[in-house]
Structure 1
Amino acid sequence: MATPIFALADEYIDASARLNPMWAGAVGVTGDFGTATDFGPDAEAERARLNRDTLARLRALDPTGPDDDLAKRHMEERLAVLVDRHEAGEWRRSLQVPFGIFQSLVGYVDVAPRSGEDDWALNAARMRAIPEMLGTWRQAMDAGIEAGQTASARQAAEGAKQARRTAESRVFDKHLQAYGEGPLAAELRAAADAAYAGYADAAAYLEQRYLPHADPADGVGEERYLLAARYTLGSRLDPRDAYEWGWEELHRIEEEMAAEAAKILPGASLDEVTEHLNATRSLDTHEAFLAWLQEKHRGALEALDGVHFDIHPRLMDLDVQLVHGSSSGAPYYTGPSEDLTRPGRTWWPVSDGERFGTWDELTTVFHEGVPGHHLQVGQTRVAGDRLSRFTRLFGSVSGHSEGWALYAERLCDELGWFTETGSRLGMLGGSAMRAARVVIDIGWHLGYPLPDAEAERHGREWSFDTALDVLTTRGRVPAHRARPEIVRYQGWPAQAICYKLGERAWVAARDEAKAAAGAGFDLKAWHTAALDLGPMGLDNLAAVLRK
């Protein structure tokens, strides 16, 4: 669509790609924009100028039709919050362990193409650029020390561990092994060694230089939290309302879990049922787990297409990857490239000797694959010129995307797909974890007391140990996974609330549409219309779907 707003969106994407080649490579922007992103203060200021200037130009443009109005509405909301985050100095304390810069650099290499020698040369270039990028990131962190705006001591300590673990586990060696002994083997090995040295230097920096200056507080306080919520939700949060609703939702789910467990082993406790399912509904090898994942992904695609969704043929290609040595701790999804030559992928971290419980992983297949992230993100890639390039490539909002993925799990329950023994309990357990995230994240960062009934069980005040207790006993997260989860919430404020609050927004929008249409409500048509909108903040989602 050749309108001034769409042209500005195109211009912005090209400019952003030049200023952030790592982002461009990770999301698959078409074009050659270089390899290394500069994360230093001057480069951050240049990206901020681009956001401010583009926002001013955008606000002076009048939409020419519904698609134009949608493009402007979304772009304006995203650019405005990016400008506010920069002015607040968030770029000076960018860690977000374990999904921050250290994991992002690994992902940047992992998604590189590998079909020929030119592609492998790109792999080497990306690994070789890691020390340079981490060096400029340290400049930004030093600016935070000078300004008195630092990340927490807990994030610094955990970040050092993550960086050192990334180096010591040699996470890029899998690519060297995949390449073999071709003409670029020595270059690839040298590039990987340089990357590992860069990670080791980053660990030493955090421990020796940064940690003495880090903020001793775990919580970020109300001002920073509400700004973070604007960014992750695309809406202005009422934290008290969300906190109280989170506890109510957790109680509702717990009642449903107890009823579901009683169907599996009458009279047994929830812990006993979980132990039984882990022993009887699990796989022992990586090969068997991968085969099961591939079967479930493919089955979901085929069952949904033409029935509850119209899936574009190019989205029927969904890759499944096991990830060895990942520091993320949880499955995740990466979308197709802009030109769709790189397929969407789900990534499943695994470790040696691990047993894989299929009963509680099926719901994650639907969350990360279809009808979850793959269908939602992929739909924006195949939208063509109905959506602006900004919306297709840059405008993701966690509350929208994670809310949709959790709605997708709920939809599969409504469709009766959790028929395997324990699989519905697994879905409910995942939902309980997301509800626990709401109360942990808001309560801990804002210093809210636990309700009286909960204080008797967990204590009155939030702390790291309180959060860990709530997540393991109420969110049903295994202890070995719970600790990195809590570290994540502490370093990435307001992201953990996106799942449940986003799901609430999606369900409310569907319920409103059903009430308005009555007997004529068409679920597939509603899904199509909703996904065709592309990503947007939750406030915009409610307003647009109401039209």
Structure 2
Amino acid sequence: MTPIFRLCDQYVVRAAELNPVDAVYMGLSGDFGQATDYSPDGHDARRDLVTQTLAELSALEPTGPEDARAAAHLRERLEAEAAAHDLGEHYRELSTPFGLVSGVRDHVDLLPRGDDEQWHRVAAHLRAIPGMLAGWRTTLQTGLERGLPAARRQAEGAAEQADRYAGNAAGSAPTHADLIAEYGDGPLAKDLADAAARAHAAYAETAAYLRGTYAPRAAERDAVGPERYAVAIRNSLGDDVDPREAYAWGWAELERVEAEMAAEAARILPGASVSEVIAHLDDSEYVSGPDAYLAWLEEQHQRAIDAVQGTRFDIPEALRTVDVVLLPGSTSGAPYYTQPSEDLSRKGRTWWPLGGRERFATWSDLTTVFHEGVPGHHLQLGAVAAAGERLSRHGRTSWVSGHGEGWALYAERLADELGWFEPRGSRLGMLTGSALRAARVVIDIGVHLELPLPDGSAWTFEKACEVLRERGRADAHTVRPEILRYFGWPAQAISYKLGERAWLQARDEARARPGFDLKRWHTAALELGPVGLGTLRSQLAAL
């Protein structure tokens, strides 16, 4: 192992010890403890690790191309993290539906649950939740005192979310009590029940703090402004992007996709509008009930894997299935994916919020299967997990949203090129998904930089909902949680379309070179691991 690879590995271990919650999400092998310190001291300790690691990295010289890529990726990620810390982003780390509250709660669901030793670990993580949330509240309170508040809209949304996790709200999400019911009446039952009750009480306490103490002093303004947005762009994309250029491109891309949607709708029902065709498909192309939905999802995931294995991609055997999980009470709005564990003992999982529905539109969800599963996230992150020593441990376990979400959106287009959207209306489903991602670009940049809409009007929460619903064609049950997410997680929503743009541009450039082979190009591209878009362009240009 080279000194740079050794430093990368050491950083992963040190960071995991300072953030066990993230270690669970990354599926790292080993037990790094149960509690992430979300107090100001914990954040400072993680910043000190970044500073120390960058200093050590600056003294090392790469010994070859893999070494150079590992060093560049580590440096880029650490510099992005340092910039966010130095702006005080940890003092206003408050977002929903994806944020610290959901991260603390959901990481418990990702722990292995088989024998009593594993259930003992579950209990330990549950017992750590009150302390973690208390530390976070201290950090938020310090942020208020330093004049670094988060937006009131995020505080109120997170309070509602915490109440749901505590079981104190109508239509509550599954609680930890639902999880530990799996265990039954074994010797750890009382310990698990007590730990879950304490966790539920901590969510309730956090909800009361956010609603009663924090929200009245939170910022009325949702926009983060140019300085914070530039740092957020670097964090999400791994590159510096001109947001005004991206804003103009986003509107043009939305119009291009809408024209393609109109043409596709005309093929389905000549003479009908896109909205009329969508309503027709909603009434004709669906399955009823969660059980039928789960069966359909599992079938489509497996069909995609079987279609590309050995022909378009070489998928390791351990990755030739995907766990599909339904989320009855989730407020997340959109489906999402969690990667396999480092040792591949935990499978990759796609998570599907039900949103109170009993009817599920298969025509629009097929493209999301390809996005979250194969050839999307599962293939990409699975390839990284199976890369072995060709990537540093940091390269195998890190994440850049522009790279990952860009690949997953590229995968939807690839599925179209492969002719996979044969079921009636499913290609229109892919296009409506593309319209949604283009709408995300203009909403996210427009809101946070307070840029005018094409008609000169200003963005509001209601206007953002309207654009996502009318132009982005978002499902009704997803609109408000999606917009709440963009408002509280700046620059993440742009990573899909801008990432796809980078992947498509790189492929077009590669195709222009003699001897281009798509399968070889895909393999080589994925073997780079999760890198920033700047590194992606330079590395793919050399393939």
Q: TM-score range by the shorter chain?
A: over 0.9
- Tell me what 2:98 maps to: 99
Alignment check: 8 A CA contact 1:97 1:491 kept: yes
- Tell me what 1:428 maps to: 431
1:300 aligns with 2:309: no
Q: Deviations over 1:137-172 (max 9, x none)?
A: 111111111110110111111111111122122422
- 1:516 is paired with a residue whose SS is coil
1:244 aligns with 2:248: yes
Of residues 438, 443, 455, the one that matches 1:440 is 443
Q: Deviations over 1:362-386 (max 9, x none)?
A: 0000000011001111111111111
- Tell me what 1:81 maps to: 80
Alignment identity in percent?
A: 56
What is the count of residue pairs matched by the alignment?
537
- Tell me what 2:287 maps to: 283
Alignment check: 8 A CA contact 2:329 2:354 kept: yes
Of residues 447, 462, 466, the one that matches 2:463 is 466
1:211-226 matched pairs, under 5 angstroms: 211-226=215-230
- Tell me what 1:391 maps to: 395
Alignment check: 8 A CA contact 1:26 1:107 kept: no
Deviates more, 1:111-120 or 1:247-256: 111-120
- What is the identity, as a one-letter code, of the residue corresponding to 2:402? G
- 1:17 to partner: Cα distance: 1.1
- What is the identity, as a one-letter code, of the residue corresponding to 1:8? L
- 1:346 is paired with a residue whose SS is strand
Which segments of 5 or more consecutive residues in structure 1 lack a partner in the other structure? none
- Tell me what 2:382 maps to: 378
- 1:321 to partner: Cα distance: 1.1
- 1:186 to partner: Cα distance: 2.1
- 1:274 to partner: Cα distance: 1.2
Of residues 515, 529, 533, the one that matches 1:534 is 529
- 1:333 is paired with a residue whose SS is strand
- 1:177 to partner: Cα distance: 2.6
Mapped partners of 1:528, 1:323: distance in 2: 33
1:287-366 matched pairs, under 5 angstroms: 287-366=291-370
- 1:174 to partner: Cα distance: 2.7
Of residues 456, 477, 484, the one that matches 1:487 is 484
Mapped partners of 1:229, 1:492: distance in 2: 11
Mapped partners of 2:409, 2:107: distance in 1: 26
- 1:183 to partner: Cα distance: 2.2
- Tell me what 2:51 maps to: 52
1:57-76 matched pairs, under 5 angstroms: 57-76=56-75
Q: TM-score, normalised by structure 2?
A: 0.97
1:159-178 matched pairs, under 5 angstroms: 159-168=158-167, 169=172, 170-178=174-182
> Do the aligned partners of residues 20 and 225 (structure 1) sit closer, same or farther apart at CA in structure 2, a change above 3 Å counting?
same
Alignment check: 8 A CA contact 1:171 1:325 kept: no
Mapped partners of 1:95, 1:318: distance in 2: 31
Deviates more, 1:360-369 or 1:165-174: 165-174
- What is the identity, as a one-letter code, of the residue corresponding to 2:116? E
- What is the identity, as a one-letter code, of the residue corresponding to 2:414? L
1:151-230 matched pairs, under 5 angstroms: 151-168=150-167, 169=172, 170-230=174-234
- Tell me what 1:256 maps to: 260
Q: TM-score, normalised by structure 1?
A: 0.96
Q: Over aligned residue pairs, what C-alpha RMSD do you find?
A: 1.1
Of residues 513, 532, 538, the one that matches 2:510 is 513
Mapped partners of 1:545, 1:376: distance in 2: 16
Which segments of 5 or more consecutive residues in structure 2 lack a partner in the other structure? none
Mapped partners of 1:358, 1:265: distance in 2: 18
Alignment check: 8 A CA contact 1:335 1:344 kept: yes
- What is the identity, as a one-letter code, of the residue corresponding to 2:435? A
Alignment check: 8 A CA contact 2:333 2:355 kept: no
- 1:114 to partner: Cα distance: 1.1
- What is the identity, as a one-letter code, of the residue corresponding to 1:85? A
